[in-house]
Structures are given as C-alpha cells and as structure tokens.
Structure 1
C-alpha cells in the first residue's frame, strides 16, 4: 500500500491537480516534479556583429535575417536546386560558400609585396606562397577577413595563417618576410618522403597547401557529402569538374560521371604549345570499371572526357621531371601566351567562360629536382609583372616571361563587366536642379529672338556666341567612346606581332663571353649600318650664311676687304709689348717667405773627436807592431 503523499506526488507527475492548494518545497516534491527540457541557444558574437551589416530590403520589419558567407544553406532549395541537371550532374544539397561572393579581379590596388627569405633551401615554398598571394580572388577573400571573422578553431588554423601572410605581404613591407609558420610543418609532412613527394618540388608544396586549406575549411562544417565538401571557398576558386562520357560495351548506353580537380598535369611529349598539351590531355580516352545502370553489365567502360565546370583560377603543371630516381628535368621550350581559350576542351552546349589570362608562373632552373631553384613571376594589382626570386623583387617584362620554361602556369578568368550605377539624388537636389533649368530657360528666351529656333529644342551658347544644340546625356557619348576604344585595342591585339629577326638580343642567363661578343657585334653593326653618325654630322655642322638649312645672301659681302685693311692698319699702329724683366717677374710673383733651413742630419754625422782619437790609436798600434 502506498502512502497518501506518494499517491499525491504520482498524481502531480501524471499531470493531475493536487487536492491541497499549498505545496511545500520539500525534497520529495522537488525530486518528483516533471522537468521540461528546451534546446539552448548559443549566441555567437561574431555572427551577430556580421548580421548587423545587413538591413531588410523591403523594410517590412526591423528584424534582419542575414546569414554569413558560409551559411549558404537554404531550406527550400532557393540557392541551389537539389536535383540532377540535364547532363546527369548532381547538384549539392547546399553550398558552404557561394561563388558569386568572389571576384576574379582585384577589389583594390595594393602595393607590391615584399620578398620572402629562403629558410633552408625552400625556394619552392616561397614561389607557391607568392602565387597564392597574387591570386586575385583568394587575395580579396583573405583581405576581407571572411574566414577569420567566422573561424572557430581554437589552436592553430592553417587558413588563418595563410590569411595573415597575405594581408602582411600586400600591405607593402620594406623588409623581406620570413614564412616560419609553414616551414616546420612542411618539412615534417613532405621531408620524410624520399621516393614520393619532396619539399623541393613546387607542385608537391602546392598540393600540400590545397589539402591543408581544404581540411581546415571543412573542420567546422562536418559534412560527409562529397559534393557539399567541394563547395568551400577554395574549391570555388581553384576547383572544377571533368565530365567522363562513358559508353557501355554491351548495350551502348552512354552515362556521364564527374570528377573534381584543383589542378591539371600536362604531358609535354609531342607538344610545342600549352594549348596543344591541354588538347592532348583531354583527347585521351577515359576508362572506368563500373556496372551499367541499364543492363547491369559490370566491366570496363571507355569514352571521352572534357571540362564541365571550369574553375575561376586554372592551375596547370607541366610534367618536366621524369619518374627515375634522380628525376631528371626536360628542358623543352613550350610556347605559352598571356591569354588562352579552352573552348575546345569544354563540354558542348556549356555556357561557361572559356577565356583565361595569365597571372602567375613558377619557373625551375636546374637539371634535376634536387639541385634546382624556383622563381615566381606574378602580376600585381597594378597590372605590372614582377619577378619574385626569394627576397629579390624586381620588375619583369612580358617578353622575358614568355621566353622562360615554366613548371607551373596559373590562369584567371577576366572579371565580369560591372554596370555603372548612378547615385540616387535627394529631393532637395532635384528641386535645385529644376530651379536652375527654369532660370536658364528664362535667360535663353530673353537672349534669343522668337522664331529663330524651335520651341522644343534646347540650345546652348558656345564661347564664340554661336548657338549649339544641347546634349542632354553626355554619359552616352563617353560610353560610346569607351566601346570604340576597346574595339580598337582588340583589333590591334589581334594583329600578328612582327619580330625583328636581325635584332641582337642579350639574355640575362648568358655568360659574360657571349654578352661581350654580342656587344661587339652590336657596335660593329651600328658603325656599318646605322646612319646616326651621318645625321649628327648634318645637324651639328655649322654652315656660314645659312638659315633653316638654306643659303642666304648677306649685305656685308662687299665689306670684307675693307674690314681686312682696317685690321692691318690697326696692327701697325699698335705698339709692341715691352719685354718683361726679372724685376717684373718677382713683382708679379709676390714676396717669398724666407724659412731657415733646419739641420735635420745633425745627429747622424760622425763625431770629429772620436775620429781623431781612433786615428791616433791606430798610429800607436802600428808603431808597436814595428
């Protein structure tokens, strides 16, 4: 039998009402009371500050429903449709970072970054860091602190370290930077792999940076879906998709599979240009062992491959190092241009941007991968090319860059054209403009007689007082001029470049002997072929009675004989100059200070008394001998 108190407590737990109105806070009452749990809300201060930057567009309510750059998740599929497109490509369920938030061009013009110190023969690390620093989309992302403002990693974050380095470099430091943050971890990761990757290989360092940045960007999201993982800011910049169009050998059904990539490795055999290397790479047949969804036949399927989603920044690696133990280098020259069109390797009926512009290159000097040195060529935000050789930074010409034998090339899509938006004018400014227009119309009515110009036409007087038609919108003319200028520049760029084959070109990598030979050849060529000496002789020669290179007659031609006679008479009249004597010479020279000569050799002379004593002593000695 249960007691009355226990029955009453059980009745309260089940939701019944107590018979007694007053309940004491006893131990039994507190323990037997039902507790309703509610999900706690974690307040992220950084996120709240980020939300304050936005305001509602329609102004219906004062509540701001803003999301951060990473929270591109939509519940109803507003941002990304959760379905398969016409080519069989599965869209991700949500996006971690929207691509439209990135700009492939520079947001601001930054000063040229400083060089990097070589901390233990790691020029490969310095070259990769410089190319990442001058990737416009990545630099804009890092300069805006998009990641660090939302980062929740407590200890060490690789992306935050890269962001700090890029921000420091683009601020313009007069002293070279020391990338100590990356050296230790890079040596520990890649230094213990003698047969595989090496920290002396720039491409291995590039892959290390891509893997580390991707893993730290995904550390906060914890998404197991591969498609969602490939929507980070890094993949939105460097990532793309390759379409493998495979055909079943049994039922001939064609299916499309897709693979993601952040860089492409191109073979150099039987290719003279980078575009041919890219075409050859995608001409290779794609093969995969899979089961056909139509006939359930499992086996090897082959087909073609093409780029389905082109990246914003295309990274190309030219396979110059062999697979042998020493990894000997192929010093083959492969032609590459400042701009490239990849339309022929893109999937048909795809409306993606296929034009790319070169913005960085990594060059390797040496015969093998172990005894070489890396140099980075980067295009700064001011449009000038620079050669980054560790801590040495200098301006480089495009001609010099195109003559190099690069190991890695990085291309960037041109930024989309942004329409010019006019600032909205306030009501007060509009009223002022209307008043000015009315005053001008009244002045024109007074100044111009009626009937000369139509009433509907606006007129404007020039400086000469002549009436000219008024142009209402001058911005249209400026836009037309810009369009014409762009068309003229494009036509000029399409023209074939004519090179002077007879010109003597001196390369900075040549030795001193060849440079001197070319210099002597240049001097000899100038002396034989150049007409500069003849031009100098014509310009600097003084011709009498000439004006504007023509002979001009003068009035004083007859007076030359009279002037000669006059000079002769004057010479005869003029007395001869008196010969200067010694007194005049002394007088002209001035007084001489007489200085007493010092006897400097006073103590070096022999003693006379000693000499006489020695002579007497010698005489006495001679007498004694006799």
Structure 2
C-alpha cells in the first residue's frame, strides 16, 4: 500500500503540473524530442482539469503531449507507469477533480461513491462456473479484479491468450470437484468468463519466470482495437470494443534488470514514445511492434470515436 500511495501522490503531482502549463501549441513533428518540464511553460498542450468527480473516458479538448520525467536513479519503471496513468482519460479526469487522490490511500473515509472509483475505472468481475458432470449442478461465484494477467507461454497474441483463459477446464483426479449436492468428489467442468469490464482494461503479460525471473523469448501481438465480447459471460449483443492508448515496455533479459519506457496516445490522437525525460512523436506501427509487458485499453465509446480515426475491431480484422 505504501508504494501504491507514493505512485498515486506522484501521479497527482504530475497531473497538476501538466494542467498548469500553457496550451495551444501544435504537437511536435515525428522524431523530434520535446523539452523537459521546466521548459514547457511556453510549449505544447497538456491535460486540463474537468469539473466534478468525472470518470469520462474522453478528453474534454484535444490536448497534446506533456513533459518527460527525469530518471532520478532506477526510476524508469515508475516514470513509465506514471506516463501511462497520466494519459488514462477517466483516471486523469478524476484525479484532477479531487483534493485527496484515490480513496483508500488516506486515513479518512470519503463519500460512498468515491470508494469505488478505482473499481469503476479499471475494475470488473470474473464469473466462475463449476458444473458437476454427475448431477449437472452448477456452482457460481463472482470475483473482482483490477488487472487481467495473461499467460503467454503458448499464445502468440492477446486474443489467443484470452481465448485460453476462458476455455472450459476439466476438474478430475486430484483436482476433482467436491460437489455440495452429490456430497463427494466428482469430475466437473470449470468455466471462467468476464461478467463485467471497466472503462479501462489493464492486461499484464506474464513474461517473467516465477522461479528464475528470466524473460520468455518471442513476441506477443496485440491489436489497436480489441473486441472483448467473445470473452464475456454474455456473448450475445453488440461488439464491446476497447482502444489501445498506452503500452508499457521492458527491454532486458530479466525482471530484476533492463529498462522500462512506454508509448502513450495523447488527447489529440497522436502517439508518443515516453522514455524518461525524452518524449518523441511516433506512429501506430512502432507502437504495435513492441515486446509489451502491460497493455492499456479504454472503452471505445468515449475515446476512439473522438480521438483519431480508429476503425471498429471487426473492420480492422477484415483489413
């Protein structure tokens, strides 16, 4: 909790500094490095606070990129994480409209609606169903989550990893299910699906070995637009499209070493590489060609339609 509190405090300070800077300049041309924070008073456009406790998925205006962050000594991961959070529209809108940051990080207890703000932004619920194959009885539970961890050992794309995650699993032998109706251990089928999804989805790709800390080889493909409908408990209905807006990248062979940087999509629809103090304009082709360790997607209804010409997920799959 102490580390998370420090991240949130740093995020709020960064957002407030960004919001206080001047606005109105055009975004930089590709491959041009942007100035540091102290030089931005007369520079590019930035985030701005919104009135009230807003959880809107869209920027109020087409704000451009903000400042880079100095590496003060092994702080590249913190810098990259802060940049990804800074360009998370509902979180930025919420943080800039509050006086004590996110709930649960202070000693006091805020209003009831504030206590679930983080859950509303990045949270959802897993739906776990276990069906006894002897009596056909079904047991169901709902569990909250804030991020979705993806096993990529046998997957070459985010969609494939998600498909593996929701495939039915057979419980038998030592893993047999103790059925409350049959009152004995029996074979069963377990299915895990998403009952609900938040405004923002955080996918954590499990690149590192739990035992050695070494990084897996290969690359996992991820789309600019992701339809989550096939992985939901209710699979009938309109596509549930999410748009990529930030990518956290690790370069190195082990989790204990290497370097972190990120790519973010500003409110003007343009992509930028944020590498500590350096902010460089780039294109979506570069963004999608990374060994990402955390992917940030926001619901398309509030972001993709107004920021950049992002086609629907189905349109992309046909291109």
In the superposition, the TM-score normalised over structure 2's length comes to 0.70
Q: Determine helix, strand or coil for the equivalent of 1:138.
A: helix
Separation (CA, whole Å) in 2 of partners of 1:378 and 1:387: 7
Separation (CA, whole Å) in 1 of partners of 2:238 and 2:183: 35
Contact 2:241 2:312 in 1 (8 A): no
Structure scoring higher RCO (CA < 8 A, sep ≥ 6) equals 2
Contact 1:123 1:375 in 2 (8 A): yes
Separation (CA, whole Å) in 2 of partners of 1:318 and 1:299: 34
* Counterpart selection for 2:67 from 114, 118, 126: 114
Separation (CA, whole Å) in 1 of partners of 2:298 and 2:216: 26
* Counterpart selection for 1:234 from 106, 114, 118: 118
Separation (CA, whole Å) in 2 of partners of 1:128 and 1:222: 28
* Counterpart selection for 1:216 from 105, 112, 132: 105
Aligned match of 2:253: 367
Contact 1:339 1:357 in 2 (8 A): yes
Find out whether 1:255 has 2:139 as its counterpart.
Answer: yes
Aligned match of 1:307: 194
Mapping of 1:28-427 within 5 angstroms?
102-145=55-98, 148=99, 151=100, 159=101, 213=102, 215-216=104-105, 219-220=108-109, 232-248=116-132, 251-283=135-167, 285=169, 295=181, 297=183, 302-325=189-212, 327-348=213-234, 354-416=240-302
Q: Could you tell me how far 1:142 is from its partner in structure 2?
A: 1.7
Structure-2 change in CA distance of 1:291 and 1:215 (3 Å) = farther
Q: Could you tell me how far 1:334 is from its partner in structure 2?
A: 1.4
Q: Determine helix, strand or coil for the equivalent of 1:403.
A: coil
Structure richer in strand, relative to its length:
2
Q: For structure 1, which segment, 328-337 or 360-369, has the greater mean C-alpha deviation from structure 2 after superposition?
A: 328-337
Structure-2 change in CA distance of 1:303 and 1:495 (3 Å) = closer
Q: Could you tell me how far 1:330 is from its partner in structure 2?
A: 1.5
Q: Determine helix, strand or coil for the equivalent of 2:129.
A: strand
Q: Could you tell me how far 1:393 is from its partner in structure 2?
A: 0.6
Q: Determine helix, strand or coil for the equivalent of 1:269.
A: coil
Separation (CA, whole Å) in 1 of partners of 2:234 and 2:107: 33
For structure 1, the residue ranges without an aligned partner over 5 or more in a row are 1-99, 152-158, 160-212, 418-485, 498-626
Separation (CA, whole Å) in 1 of partners of 2:298 and 2:170: 27
In the superposition, the TM-score normalised over structure 1's length comes to 0.37
Q: Determine helix, strand or coil for the equivalent of 2:217.
A: coil
Separation (CA, whole Å) in 1 of partners of 2:106 and 2:178: 34
Structure richer in helix, relative to its length:
1
Q: Could you tell me how far 1:312 is from its partner in structure 2?
A: 1.1
Q: Determine helix, strand or coil for the equivalent of 2:104.
A: helix
Structure-2 change in CA distance of 1:256 and 1:286 (3 Å) = farther
Q: Could you tell me how far 1:495 is from its partner in structure 2?
A: 8.2
For structure 2, the residue ranges without an aligned partner over 5 or more in a row are 1-52, 304-308
